[in-house]
Structure 1
Amino acid sequence: MAATKPPKIHLFHWEGTNARREKIKGEIEAEDINLVRAKLREQGISPKRIRKKSNFSLGLGEKITARDITLFSRQLATMIKAGVPVVQALTITIEGQTKKKMRNLLMDLRDQVSAGTPVAQALRRHPKVFDDLFCSLVEAGEASGTLEDMLERVALYKERMESLKNKIKKALYYPVFVLIIGMGVSALLLVKVVPEFEKMFAGFGAELPAFTQMVVNLSRFMQEWWWLVFGALIGLVYLVNFMKKRSEAFAYRLSKFTLRLPIVGQLLHKSAVARFSRTLATSFSAGVPLVDALDSAGSSTGNLVYRGAVTRMKDDVATGQQLNFSMRQARLFPTMVNQMVAIGEESGALDTMLMKVADFFEEEVNTMVDSMTSLLEPLVIAVLGVIVGGLVIAMYLPIFQMGSIM
């Protein structure tokens, strides 16, 4: 006998009035418009207008972000703690979603769980959204009957990690963005402004100063080959990204190079240690075996050098070696971190010590980012002043010379 095809669920937008004659509106899922009317009347709502929402979407802002997952975890944890069954909690969460991709994801989770699939197993069907750590914690929560606590822990972990990532982005992107603007302004001056001065200099009948002549030559080059310069820059960025994705050796060398950069390298080191410690502490305290927890911790560091080191540490720990001894052999972690881990292993409070390490290095990153921002602002302004001011001075030098001769 052929299996019955499940009815297709649509999303409807409705407008109506409640018992107090107040105008209200919302969205509801149903098989057809008649079921929507029936559901609304059951809630004492008189529907005035009902329309099926279009599936068409430009895809702008539709990407599922870490913030979406954090909010989902907190909502689900709150409802489960209040005694709401998981399937019903997922249904309520779906109704509050505005992103199509997130709605589809949660609808799939709800269908899987309602069919008897464990929550962790349903989550593992979406590895691009729910990482191993998330799934492992949910699995541990289901096994111990503390799913709501684990979801709260995941939400807190995600918030801390996103805050740290945003701090790093702020420190790295700000000067790059300002310098790009400076380069754009300089290119505009060379292509549009300097040629006008060059026409004026042609009537002087005198030899131009060396600095001015150099800028004029650079302007001529940019006028003729500007497309080649910008094409080369764009091509370089594309090539680096392409090589990162295609060559593990190149990506590893690039990660190693960034760690050796002045100031930025130290920031990336501290960030990697903070991420490693926070992830390992969160996993281990939830009952995840240390070897499995190291897998998630290595992936969370955001740097291939640290990830490779943590992979080797995992192999050492699997053979019975102490974690702190393996960390010393990696020669990446500060002495203080190794000592804290050693104390944690001896006292049986490894997760507590790792949390303290994570708190310390996250605060170090925050302080360093604030210091970098306050130092970089005047430095970037000075660099832009030198570039733009140099071009202006070069253009006025011949005029100053003519004035001194006269």
Structure 2
Amino acid sequence: MTLYRYRAVDPRGRRQEGQLEAAHLEDLEARLHRLGLDLIGARPGTYRRRGRGTLGRRDRILLYFHLEQLLHAGLPLWESLLEIRHGEESPALGDVVTGLIEGLEGGLTLSQAMAHHPGPFPPTEIQLIRAGELSGRLLEILRELTETLKWEDEIHAQTRRLLLYPALLAAMVLGSSGFLLIYLVPQLQSFVRHLGHELPLSTRLLFALSDLLVYHGQALALGLLGLGCLGILLSRWTPRFQDFRDRWLLRLPKIGPLLEKSLLARFARSLALLYGAGISVLEGLQACATLVGNRHVHGGIVRVGEQIAAGTSLSGAFASAHLFPPLMLRMVQMGETTGALDQALRNVAYFYDRDIREQLGRLQALLEPCLTLILGSLLGWIMVAILGPIYDAVATLGH
């Protein structure tokens, strides 16, 4: 099979571009015809992932929402995906839906086609779709996935909005500091030095910092860039460094607890969805462990699975991991006792999400005056360091 990059038109006359595997050009034309597309041109190519190889959250929301609506209206799965393919304007989602349709034509189920396509879907979502197919609750699972992803998208959007102003203010502080120290202070330095007075400590420190940035700024920038690139390479290829980095992030003041709650909220919400869909706790833990994006938390979830497989109770396994806070341990124990583990985990996710929003609001309220104070202090220091010697010289002349 050869991968072709093709250009085609749909029944509405809109131009479509994508990539599709076929034995030869005639086979490609036949495959596109089954998708309702007329081939314009094609050329062999290599597989090209869009972005990081995964569909964005909003693309997945659109896919699950439209698929649930079309299936609810009575359309077969293949026709539903075909309708989504024709109406979709996102090239990345269009390629993925094309791959799903090809999988269904090859005899795969929807979950198998999702797993077969390279990288767009997280393991938890594939597991949920598989559970929905086996239990006959696919519509309900698609609806729950849509609502959960909408909730996550809302939380992330609110977080970005909360951090936008402090980020802009921090950029303004750095930009103004660089301008003053690199351009303004050197122009005043020769004048102040020629006044003939001994310079105070604040002025000497200001001039030293300005000289460092002017004469060695490029070396400092290259050094910081090199350290950043080295950190990225170590993060990708060195497991021990990844462990150190992830533990260090969780121990950062103010930021660490927020990150930990965000990771645990995502884990609790995903496990609640899987367990509520009829997937066993062990399978759910295996799927969720790959989602958290933190090796320290990942290791704790893996240990929980190992303890449960060895015969430990659910609450005992969570407690023995020495990772989860008391609130989560109590809710897991309550869910285990009452048989409503999925609802208990949803409550944990809801509580942590609300707590994260509140703490972000407080952090924003704290950051704004702190950054303003830093900017004001920097300007005050420069004014005093520059104008102080000038004032002393004028006072001496007056005497």
1:358 aligns with 2:355: no
Shift of residue 302, structure 1, vs aligned partner: 3.3
Partner residue, 2:23:
none
Q: What SS is found at the alignment partner of 2:293?
A: coil
Note if contact 1:14-1:51 (Cα within 8 Å) is conserved in structure 2: no
2:174 to 183, 205, 223: 183
1:264 aligns with 2:255: yes
1:125 aligns with 2:122: no
2:142 to 151, 171, 182: 151
1:367 to 340, 351, 358: 358
Q: Deviations over 1:35-58 (max 9, x none)?
A: 9xxx99xxxxxxxxx99699999x
% same residue: 26
Distance change >3 Å, CA 306–CA 281, structure 1 → 2: same
Shift of residue 367, structure 1, vs aligned partner: 1.0
Shift of residue 156, structure 1, vs aligned partner: 2.0
- TM-score by length of structure 1 reads 0.83
Distance change >3 Å, CA 6–CA 187, structure 1 → 2: closer
Query: In the aligned structure 1, how far is the partner of 2:363 from the partner of 2:246?
Result: 21
**Which stretch shifts more, 128-137 or 171-180?**
171-180
1:75 aligns with 2:66: yes
Partner residue, 1:334:
325
Query: In the aligned structure 2, how far is the partner of 1:60 from the partner of 1:129?
Result: 10
Note if contact 1:344-1:350 (Cα within 8 Å) is conserved in structure 2: yes
Query: In the aligned structure 1, how far is the partner of 2:174 from the partner of 2:312?
Result: 53
1:398 aligns with 2:398: no
Partner residue, 2:24:
none
Partner residue, 1:11:
8
Structure 2 unpaired stretches of 5+:
18-27
Distance change >3 Å, CA 325–CA 61, structure 1 → 2: closer
Query: In the aligned structure 2, how far is the partner of 1:364 from the partner of 1:270?
Result: 8
Partner residue, 1:300:
291
Distance change >3 Å, CA 176–CA 252, structure 1 → 2: farther
2:77 to 82, 86, 90: 86
2:191 to 171, 176, 200: 200
Distance change >3 Å, CA 54–CA 235, structure 1 → 2: same
Shift of residue 287, structure 1, vs aligned partner: 0.8
Partner residue, 1:385:
376
Distance change >3 Å, CA 241–CA 335, structure 1 → 2: same
Query: In the aligned structure 1, how far is the partner of 2:249 from the partner of 2:197?
Result: 49
Q: Deviations over 1:290-323 (max 9, x none)?
A: 1010122223333221111010000111122111
Query: In the aligned structure 1, how far is the partner of 2:178 from the partner of 2:129?
Result: 54
Distance change >3 Å, CA 128–CA 385, structure 1 → 2: farther
- TM-score by length of structure 2 reads 0.85
Query: In the aligned structure 2, how far is the partner of 1:166 from the partner of 1:184?
Result: 26
Residues 19-30 of structure 1 aligned to structure 2 (within 5 Å) = 26=14
Shift of residue 378, structure 1, vs aligned partner: 1.2
Query: In the aligned structure 2, how far is the partner of 1:178 from the partner of 1:237?
Result: 23
Note if contact 2:263-2:292 (Cα within 8 Å) is conserved in structure 1: yes
Q: What letter matches 1:302 in structure 2?
A: G
Q: What letter matches 1:108 in structure 2?
A: G
